[in-house]
Amino acid sequence: MTFAPLSSDFYGYAENLLTDREKDAIMAIREWGEREVLPVIGGYWERAEFPAQVIAPLAELGTLAFAWDETKPFENSAVFRGFVALELARVDASVSTFVGVQNGLVAGTLALTGSAEQRAEWLPKIASAEVIGAFGLTEPLSGSDSARGLRTTARREGDSWVLNGSKRWIGNATFSDITIIWAKDEADGQVKGFIVPTSTPGYVATKIEGKISLRSVQNADITLTDVVVPESLRLQNANTFRDTAAVLRQTRAEVAWAAVGTAIGAYEAAVAYAKQREQFGKPIAAHQLIQEHLVNGLGNITASLGMVVRVSQMLDAGEQRDEHSALAKAYATSRMRETVAWARETLGGNGIVLEHHVARYFADAEALYSYEGTREMNTLIVGRAVTGEAAFV
């Protein structure tokens, strides 16, 4: 398939950085997303339903597998994985969030903190979507301060662990088969990770209703009451919160990519609308102030894209630190928030109805802005790096 650069990739990053095989994969994902997802996703968003029919094609397109192939870890570059997140979010941020959870948070946790046996058992099932996963870190009383504030506990009893506590906001968790639960070991106070089958007695997930952002993502409140899991389901290489943070360092950069994709989706829809909508006897695209909206958006997209590309190159080179992905996430989501607002403004009244898509990007941007570390928390991570002073508390 001939590669078609996005007009919004103004400096031609994808054209210049991806291999031919990667370009083919990107085109297949784009073609599927535009054909199968874009026309129907507004309805799912409005009904707050996840389009379950996307899961099998996402697996077939390889979006759930490429990052964590046990036999060839990181065969595909982080830059490529970033472009996949961008392409998916360009169509719909809820679909890209599903992949971000399944392939980023869940497979990422298993790949980085699972034993060889655990990786061999679970990663192929995650890649094929035979098993759907969720990632349970955030709690009702602990969001930004999860490094120190987790209240969910794990108590060792013989060859098993007993988990008690609650989780909030957990994506995919209304239909996941397993949920990674992060809990504090009562014995040593360290955060440990557990693969919890959702059929385990005492595990209850309840959908969070009334969201105005990422409505298609099924977020859940989870309660854990004397949930017993065997030692074989404890992630064998997750011994402190530092191990959890290693997963987040990578997924945070992918959220930055998804933010660029969300901004691009809104920007491209605004350009198309501005060309066909006429006011004062000419297309609104011919009015200077509308051009300024569009060019400001393109500037944001181009700056953010340059940043996420470089952060992913640093990950591939083993040079990426927490502050690098934190800056990319804070910056790209902030620029996305501006860009979707300009796009919404460009459509006038039609900017607030789902039919024209921009309203969905506009609303969805809010969740991307806050999840996987708010702008404030990522700012504090970077601030600590540049000043040597931790200002979290």
Please identify, among the stretches 116-124, 190-198, 303-311, 363-371, the one whose residues bind ligand FAD according to the rule CB under 6 A. Answer: 363-371
Q: Does 62 bind ligand FAD (CB under 6 A)?
A: no
Token pair in block for residue 381:
């991570």
Name the residue nearer to ligand FAD (CB basis): 76 or 109: 109
Q: Does 136 bind ligand FAD (CB under 6 A)?
A: yes
* The binder of ligand FAD chosen from 66, 98, 161, 169 (CB under 6 A): 169
Q: Does 218 bind ligand FAD (CB under 6 A)?
A: no
Q: Does 170 bind ligand FAD (CB under 6 A)?
A: yes
CA angle, corner 222, sides to 220 and 226, nearest 5?
Answer: 165
Q: Does 171 bind ligand FAD (CB under 6 A)?
A: yes
Please identify, among the stretches 23-31, 35-43, 322-330, 366-374, the one whose residues bind ligand FAD according to the rule CB under 6 A. Answer: 366-374
* The binder of ligand FAD chosen from 137, 183, 238, 259 (CB under 6 A): 137
Q: Does 332 bind ligand FAD (CB under 6 A)?
A: no
φ, ψ at 369 (rounded to 5°): -60, -35
Using an 8 Å Cβ cutoff, are 364 and 213 in contact? yes
Q: Which CA distances in Å does 388 have to 24, 128, 378, 384, 393?
A: 44, 44, 15, 5, 14
Q: Does 374 bind ligand FAD (CB under 6 A)?
A: yes
Collapse the DSSP code of 222 into the 3-class scheme (helix H, G, I; strand E, B; otherwise coil) and give the result.
Answer: strand
H-helix or E-strand spanning residue 178: strand 178-185
Least CB distance from residue 306 to ligand FAD, whole Å? 26
Evaluate the CA torsion angle 164, 168, 172, 175 in order and state its sign: positive
Least CB distance from residue 367 to ligand FAD, whole Å? 4
Token pair in block for residue 84:
């996949």
Q: Does 251 bind ligand FAD (CB under 6 A)?
A: no
Q: Does 55 bind ligand FAD (CB under 6 A)?
A: no
Least CB distance from residue 9 to ligand FAD, whole Å? 27
**155: exposed, middle or buried (Cβ count in 10 Å: 0-12, 13-18, 19+):** middle
Max Cα-Cα span within the chain? 78
Which residues bind to ligand FAD, rule: CB under 6 A? 101, 135-138, 143-144, 169-171, 214, 217, 219, 367, 370-374, 376-377, 392
